[in-house]
Structure 1
C-alpha cells in the first residue's frame, strides 16, 4: 500500500477492497454451507468487486419498491419471520498482513453490508452483524496466522433487520461500502468526543474533549496524560490544555477566547491536536480532529444557530450512482456537495439512513447543515396504499424491537457525534410512532443535549408528540402549514419532505419559501429529493438507458416512482434547479433604472464578500454594464445607486435590468464569477407616436381562391390555406417549405408524473380527444382594399361540447409576415384545460432555436421565478428534458421571439408583443408521441420539429405526485375565454447572424 509506505495513520490500515471470490445462492438451502472452512477450495468461484452490490454485478435482479415490503404478495410472513426466498452471497478474500499490522491487535471494519452477515477467519467464527448503514468491526487477532489468511463473509439479503429497512429505494444486498483491516497503538483512544461550544454572547468559545482509552496495564490509563493544542485554520495556537488519565478516562477543557464560528455560510474549522503519553512520558498516539464552534438551540419556540433564527433550505439525499447503486464514490460525494452549494441549498437530510463518513466531513468543510437520520423505516407495516392502518406496526411499543432500534441510534450517534455540520438527529422515517421510537429520541437527548431531535411520524399519532422537538410534516400544503403556524404553536415547523420533484415538477415552490418572512416559526424544508434513483440498463438492441422499477422483471415494484431528483441519475442538472437556486438564495436583489435594492437574509455573511454586477439589456441586447460591490450587513437592507448612461436606455424598446452577486475568487465549491444571487427589473421606453403605428406593408398580394384551396402570394413567398384540411397547409419562402403538418388547436399536453398523480387522464381525457379530432365549421377570406393584407379565418367545433368554439385567423401581409390569432371561446361544464395552444410540424432540418423569452431553462406558469428575460439558443434535440418517463417538457414562458433555423441560418421567426407574450415549446416529438412512451427508447426516430404556441399552459405543480392539484391560479378554467396572437416571418442567414 502506498499509504503504508509513506507511514503515518494510513500505514495502520490495510484495504481489502477489490476482487473477492464469490458464490451466489437463491436461498439459504442452496448456499455453499461449508465454504468458510480453511480447506474449502473456492478457487473456481467467480470474482466480484467489493465494494459493490451483488445485483448490479450480474447476480440476481435489483428490485425497486417504495412503501410495501419487497416480498408483499409473494410470501405470507409477518415480523420477525424471514421470507424463505432469501438470496445469500458467499464472499472469500485471501490476504496477508502488511508489516505495519503484524505488531499489534488487528481489527476488521465493514463500513456497510446489506442487510446481515456472518464472518469467519481461517475457518473460525468471528461474528455476526446487521444494520446496513453503520460500520461493524470485529477483532481478528486470535484467528490470524502467518502467511495467507482466508476471510469468509456470508451475506443475507433478508433478515430480521430487513423489517426495519423498508425505505423508498432499490433493494440490493452485498458488501457495498469499503472493508479494511486496521491496528491501533498499545494505548489507544477508543472514544473521543469534542464539544466546541459558544458562550451566551455567541462569540467566545470553550472546548471540551472527553477521552476513553483502550490499552494495557502500562498504558496512559495508569498514570499517563493527554495534551491538547487547539489551532486555527492558519495553524496558529489558540488554546492548550493537559489532563491525566484516571481509570482510562480523561477530560480536557480550554477557553478558546473569541472564535470564528461555524455555519453553512462561514464553515470555519479548527484543528484539535491531541497527544497521548504514557507514564514514562513516551508519546503513544497523536490525533487530529477538526471542530467547529457553534451553538444550536431551541429558544422562544424558534431554532437558532449561534443566536440567529435559521431557515433550512434543504434537500433529501439518497446515496446513489446510476451504475453503482448506493456504493457511491468520493467523486460522487464531491460533485453532490458542490452542486448543492452552487444552487443555494444549505441543508441535507440523509434520507433515510446514515451516509458514508466522508459525506459528513465534506459537509463540515463546505458548509451544509445536516439532519442525520438513523436507519429505520417500517413504512409497509402501518401504511398500505396511502391509508394509515397500523394493525401490525413495528417497532411500535413492542419491547422485543427496542434493542435493535436503540442499537441503530447508538451506532449513528457514536460514529457521527463530532461533526459540527450535524444539527439534528432523526429517529428514522415513516415508522408510525410508539414507545420504542420515543425511547430512541430520549437517548439522543440524554447522550447529546447540544442537538435537537426530529421525527415526523408522530403526526399520525399525537400520543407520542414528545418524540420530536419540532413539528415536522411531509407534503403539507401551504394552507395547512399556515393553519398550524397561525395557532401560535409551541414547536417550530419544518417540512422534512416537500416539493415532490418527480419528473417535471417543483411548481409552486414559491408558496413555501414566501412563508419564511411571514412566520418566524416556519423554518424551511427539504425537497424530495436530490437524485433520480435510475439504473443504467440496456434495451433489447443493446442501447443504454435509465431503468426504473419493473425494468428488470422485478415484481412487486413501484415502477418509476424512484425518479424524484432535482438532478438526473447521471448527475446532470435538471431544469428544476433553476427555480430552486433562485428561491433558496439568501440575498434578494431588486434592480431598477436607479439602482439595486439589496435585502441580505444571510445570518452571518456580509454582501461585500461578493462582487455586484448590473447589466442592462434592450430587447435582449446588452447596452450597459457596471461592476462594483455593496456592503450590506446580514439581516439588513440597503439601496445601491447605479447610474445608467444616458444613451444606454434612450432608444424605444423593452429593457431588463439584471443584477447579480458573484464570487470574487474561487471557492472550494465554485469558481470565481459564479452567481450566488440574482434579480431582475424591467421597464419600457415607448416609441414616439409617429413611430409606434404599424406601417402598412409595401407591395400587393395576389389572392387566388380555388375550389379547395386559398392561395395568398407575394414577392418571394406563398401561403396556402386548405378548406378541406381546415388550416394553413403551406408557408413557403422562396423554395423553402415551412409547414409539414398544419397548425391545429391543441388542448392536451403529455401528462407529467404529477398530472398522472391527479388522474388528469381520467378527469380531463376529453381534451385529449378534442386535440385529435375537431370539425372545421367555417372558412372565410377577407382581403384589404389596398391589396396589402388578406385574412383567412377558420372556425372549429368539438364533440366534447356544443358550446366550445375556436377561431384561428391568419392575416398575410405583403411583406411576407403572417399574423396568427387564436380565440378560445370557453365552455361551461368541462374540466380545466391543460393547455390552449396551436401546434404544427416543420422539417427536422430546422433543428436550432434562438429565444428572446424567459429562460434559459424550461419554465412554466408556476415555475418561472428563477427564469430571466434574455436571448438564449439551443438545438431542438436539447429542448425536451430527459425525464425518466417521457412527458411534457421544454416549455418557455414570456416568449417575445423564437427563431427556428437550419444549418444555413434559414428558417422561421415567431414573434409576440412584450405586452402579451406567449408560451412555446419546440420538440422533436408531439404531445401524443410523448404521452405513449414509457421510456425514451420508445419514442420514434426524429422526422419533424414540432412547434407548439400556447396562450397559456397550466403549471406543473409539485406539492406531491399522488393527488395534489396544480394551484388554482396556475390552472386554466375551461369556461374562461382566452385569446393570443403571434406573427410568423422568414429568417435568412443574414438575419440569423445579426440576431
Structure 2
C-alpha cells in the first residue's frame, strides 16, 4: 500500500525556495518539545490527585494524566476534582533578541492558562483548551541572560460556559500543556500573519497583517509552485492603517486547482521591505480552490458538486492523550484515504496544525469545528476563540466549512464572527440542525433518509451517522444508506461516527485501555488504529470505481460494468490489474494463492458520473482457476480496491478433491440408546433418542462434535430413528416432527468423507436459517477456510471480504473492548470448506452449496452495552451452516430501522431449503 509523506511549512519556506530569497525570517525557539516523541522536562507541581503536592518534573508537551498526575476524567457523567498544574521553566535569551519583537506561543493548553515571564503576567488568563494563543513578551524577556517562565494551568475553566463546552462533552477531559510552546522572534516592523483567498479560476487575494509599519514600508508577494517555478509576483499598495494590513490581489493563468483527488499546492513568499531592503519574510502554503454552498442544490468545490465520504476524528492516542505527532497525523490520514474517504470532520475541536497540513498535502476535505458538545461558549469567551480558530486555520485549502459547536452547543451570536476573520467567507453550519438551508441531522434512521430524499428541501449531509459502537453501525447498513443518500437531489454525503476508539492507557489500572464504558469505543479502527471489519466494507462501498457485479455471469467474457464515482478524476487516469488464482487445499501448510495468469486492463476515458465497461483479456483456460481478482489503482498509486469472484462453485471445488481408495464397508453396532457406525477406522456415535451425532472417535482422538444437526432456531422432536444398509453405503436417517419440516440424512461410504444431506422449511420471519451443531469452545484453537474473510460478516455488512483461503487463531475479542482483530467468533460468508482446528483433532467440513454462511461460535455481548442492538441473534449451536444470518444495529437504533438489508429474513411459504455437507475426520 502506498503511503505519502509531507513537509510541514510553518515559518520558513521550503529549502529550494528559501535559497532564492534574501530575508530576515522569523526565528522559532522551542521551549517545549515538538510532539509526543520529542519533549522537554519542565518543573511541575500537581495540586490534587495522583502524585500531587510535590515539585517534580514533567515532559512538555503532554497531558499530565498520562504522566501519572491528577485524575483521569471523561467529560460527561463524571465528577472532577479540577486539579491544577504549576509549571516552571528557565530558558536563555540570546543577546541578538534585543530590540526584536518576541511572542510567546502556546499551541494548546487545557484549560485556563495563566502565564508569567520573569514574575510578570504575560497577559490575561487564556480560557479555551483547544486553541492556539500568544502573548507579546518583548518587554518581559531579558536578552543575554536566563529567563523564568511560570505557567498555571487549571484543568477546569473558571468560565462556566467554557467548562461545560469543553470538559463535560462526550470525550476525555484532560489537563496540561499538551501542544508545543515556543518563542517567535521577529523584526521590530513585522508581518504578523497573512490571509489568502485563492480561487479556482486563478484570482488571488491576500491580506498581509503587519505591525509597527511606517509610511516607508511596502509588501511584496512571490507565488511559486512546489517545484520552485515562479507563477508571478504582486506588489502592494499603501498600508491600510485603520485595518492594520496591506491588501494585494492579482489573477494568475494556468494554475492547477486544489481538490482532494489532486491536492495541488503553491507557496506565497511574502516580504516586508523598507527603503534599505527586506525587513521580514514569511512563507505560506496554499491552494487555489473555490467553495460554494448553493441553496436547494448542493456544496460545490471548483464548480463540481461534492459528495462527502467522511468520518469524524478525535485527536487522541492511548499513551499520550491529546499530545500527538506528525507521524500520527500521517497514519490517520492514510488510513482515512485507504477507506476511499475524501473528507474528515474535526470532532469536536480544531486539530493539530500538522494534521491540517497533511490534509492539504494528501487531499481531504475538512470541516473545522469550534468546540461545544451540547453546551455553548458564552459570547464574550466564544468571540475570542472563534478568532483564534479562524486566524490559525484560515489558509488551509482543505478546510471547506466551519462548524459552530456541536449538537446544540452553538451560540448563534457567533455565527457571523467567522467571516470577520475568514477572507474566503466560508459557510458556517450547525452540526445536528437544519440551518441556513442545510440539514445535518445526526443518527437518522433509514426512514428519515428516504423521507429526506422525497421531501427535503435542504442540502443534506448528516455530520454524524451510522454510529459505530462496538461492531455495530459504520458499514452495517451503509450500503442501503449510501444508495439512498446518492439519490438525494440536494445530497452532499455524510460523516461516519467515528474514526477510532478513543481509548486511554490507565496507569492506575495496570496500563489497561479505558474507553469509558460505551462512550468511546465507536471507531472503525481501535485505539492504536487496529482495523475492524467495517474498514474494508467502507473501502468497497465508497470506492470511486464502482463495480456492482456480485458474481461472474455464466457467459462471462471478461467484460465488467464500471461507474466513475470520482468528483474530478477521469478513470482513464487509473490502472487496473487482474489475476487468476488457484487455492491450496485444506491440508496444505500454506494459505497463499497461486497466480495462474495476470495482466493489466485499460479503461478508456470515463468522466466522473459516467458508466462504461472494463475489458479483461483472459486466457482461454481461465475457468480452470479458482478465482478472479481485479485491483484498481488511482493516479497516485494508492490501491482503490481489490474485487474478487469465485470461478468455480463449491460443488466443483469439492469434486476435484482426491479420494482415498475405499477399504471395508461401513460396520454398525447398535445399543439401547446409541448407534455406532464404523468407517475407515473412525467411529460415529448417534443418540437414538434424539437422532443427533454425539461424538466422533478417530485413531488420534475423540472429536466432541455433538447435538446436531438441528434446525437453527426451530424446535423439533424425534419421531423415529431409522438406519439401513444400501448397497455399499450405510444410511442414518432420523425423522423429526415439530414447528416446521426438517429432514436429515447421513450417508457413509468407504473412501469418502461422510455426507450429510438436509432439508428444512421456514415460514415468516427468522433471525437465521440453517443447521447447527455443538462443539466445546474450550477445545477450539483456530480455523482455516475457503470463503470470504478474514473478517466476519453481518447480514447488513458483507462487502469488503475478499474470497480466498484464510486462517486465524482463536480469540475472544469483544469489538471495541479488546482489539485482537479480526475477531474469531461470528458469521463468515461464502463458505466452501472449513478446517476446524482443535485440541482434540482437526476436522474439515465441505459444502456443495453456494452462499453458505459459517457460524463459528458466538461472540460475547459487550460489557458496556445498555441494549442488545449491537449483539445480534445467533443459533444456540456452536458451529452452524446457514443460508441466512442476522443483521446488526447501532448504539441508538435496532437493526430493523437501518434499511432493507437490516431486516429479518423472511420466507413467504414453506418451500423447503436443502443443503449438502461433507465431514472429513480422517486427515
Given the two structures, how large is their TM-score scaled by the length of structure 2? 0.84
Residue 105 of structure 1: which of 87, 101, 104 is its match? 101
Contact 1:295–1:450 (8 Å) recurs in 2:
no
SS in 1 for 2:199: strand
Residue 816 of structure 2: which of 883, 891, 901 is its match? 883
Q: Distance in 1 between matches of 2:614 and 2:351?
A: 44
CA drift of 1:712 comes to: 0.6
* Structure 1 pair 837–483 and aligned structure 2 pair: CA distance change class (3 A): same
SS in 2 for 1:480: helix
**2:500 maps to which residue?**
531
SS in 2 for 1:208: strand
**1:615 maps to which residue?**
579
CA drift of 1:808 comes to: 5.7
**1:293 maps to which residue?**
288
* Structure 1 pair 190–485 and aligned structure 2 pair: CA distance change class (3 A): same
Cα deviation digits, residues 132-186 of structure 1 (max 9, x gap): 1111212223333453332222221222211222321112112111111221122
Cα deviation digits, residues 214-253 of structure 1 (max 9, x gap): 12xxx4x421212211112321111111124423532222
CA drift of 1:302 comes to: 1.6
| Matches for 1:317-466 after TM superposition, within 5 Å | 317-379=313-375, 401-431=378-408, 437-445=411-419, 447-448=421-422, 450-459=425-434, 465-466=435-436
**2:553 maps to which residue?**
none
Residue 889 of structure 2: which of 947, 957, 961 is its match? 957
SS in 1 for 2:767: coil
CA drift of 1:860 comes to: 2.0
* Structure 1 pair 849–889 and aligned structure 2 pair: CA distance change class (3 A): closer
**2:533 maps to which residue?**
575
SS in 1 for 2:262: coil
**2:444 maps to which residue?**
476
SS in 1 for 2:844: strand
Residue 221 of structure 2: which of 192, 217, 228 is its match? 228
CA drift of 1:21 comes to: 1.8
CA drift of 1:954 comes to: 0.4
* Structure 1 pair 805–108 and aligned structure 2 pair: CA distance change class (3 A): farther
**2:187 maps to which residue?**
185
Residue 638 of structure 1: which of 597, 605, 612 is its match? 612
Q: Distance in 2 between matches of 1:825 and 1:835?
A: 9
Contact 1:921–1:947 (8 Å) recurs in 2:
yes
**1:133 maps to which residue?**
130
CA drift of 1:319 comes to: 0.5
* Structure 1 pair 93–806 and aligned structure 2 pair: CA distance change class (3 A): farther
Q: Distance in 1 between matches of 2:807 and 2:813?
A: 11
Deviating more after overlay: 135-144 vs 311-320: 135-144
CA drift of 1:696 comes to: 14
SS in 1 for 2:541: helix
Residue 23 of structure 1: which of 38, 45, 52 is its match? 45
Cα deviation digits, residues 592-630 of structure 1 (max 9, x gap): 533232221212222233321123457887544221332
CA drift of 1:715 comes to: 1.7
**2:171 maps to which residue?**
169
Cα deviation digits, residues 20-67 of structure 1 (max 9, x gap): 22222239xx998xxxxxxxxxxx61222221112222223312245x
| Matches for 1:537-552 after TM superposition, within 5 Å | 537=506, 542=510, 544-549=511-516
SS in 2 for 1:734: coil
**2:804 maps to which residue?**
871
Q: Distance in 1 between matches of 2:504 and 2:740?
A: 46
**1:760 maps to which residue?**
none
**1:201 maps to which residue?**
none
**1:625 maps to which residue?**
598
Contact 2:297–2:489 (8 Å) recurs in 1:
no
CA drift of 1:356 comes to: 1.1
Q: Distance in 1 between matches of 2:359 and 2:748?
A: 61
Q: Which runs of 5 or more structure 1 residues have no equivalent in the other structure?
A: 33-43, 72-82, 199-203, 380-393, 396-400, 460-464, 550-558, 748-766, 798-802, 936-944, 990-995
Contact 2:113–2:125 (8 Å) recurs in 1:
yes
**2:727 maps to which residue?**
786
Q: Indicate whether 1:503 and 2:470 are aligned.
A: yes
Contact 1:21–1:46 (8 Å) recurs in 2:
yes
Deviating more after overlay: 580-589 vs 723-732: 723-732
Contact 1:817–1:983 (8 Å) recurs in 2:
no
**2:632 maps to which residue?**
661
**1:398 maps to which residue?**
none
SS in 2 for 1:891: strand
Cα deviation digits, residues 875-899 of structure 1 (max 9, x gap): 2236956531699954311112212
* Structure 1 pair 839–284 and aligned structure 2 pair: CA distance change class (3 A): farther
| Matches for 1:147-166 after TM superposition, within 5 Å | 147-159=145-157, 160=159, 161-165=162-166, 166=168
**1:264 maps to which residue?**
260
Q: Distance in 1 between matches of 2:61 and 2:315?
A: 14
CA drift of 1:641 comes to: 2.5
SS in 1 for 2:816: coil
**1:731 maps to which residue?**
696
Contact 1:897–1:910 (8 Å) recurs in 2:
yes
* Structure 1 pair 377–848 and aligned structure 2 pair: CA distance change class (3 A): closer
CA drift of 1:581 comes to: 0.6
Deviating more after overlay: 776-785 vs 529-538: 776-785
SS in 2 for 1:677: strand
CA drift of 1:970 comes to: 3.8
Q: What is the total number of aligned residue pairs between the two structures?
A: 849
Cα deviation digits, residues 99-127 of structure 1 (max 9, x gap): 55455232211111112121222322333
CA drift of 1:739 comes to: 2.2
Cα deviation digits, residues 905-963 of structure 1 (max 9, x gap): x7322222243x3212436xx54xx248679xxxxxxxxx9644434320123484578
Q: Distance in 2 between matches of 1:947 and 1:841?
A: 7
**1:586 maps to which residue?**
544
Contact 1:308–1:603 (8 Å) recurs in 2:
yes
CA drift of 1:648 comes to: 1.7
Contact 2:676–2:683 (8 Å) recurs in 1:
yes
Cα deviation digits, residues 474-513 of structure 1 (max 9, x gap): 0112321221232261x31101001111111231101122
* Structure 1 pair 710–313 and aligned structure 2 pair: CA distance change class (3 A): same
Contact 1:242–1:252 (8 Å) recurs in 2:
yes
CA drift of 1:979 comes to: 4.9
Deviating more after overlay: 592-601 vs 564-573: 592-601
Q: Distance in 1 between matches of 2:95 and 2:917?
A: 79
| Matches for 1:475-494 after TM superposition, within 5 Å | 475-487=443-455, 489=457, 491-494=458-461
**2:37 maps to which residue?**
none
Contact 2:669–2:675 (8 Å) recurs in 1:
yes
SS in 2 for 1:298: strand
Cα deviation digits, residues 712-746 of structure 1 (max 9, x gap): 11122221123468632222343243326655759
CA drift of 1:817 comes to: 2.1
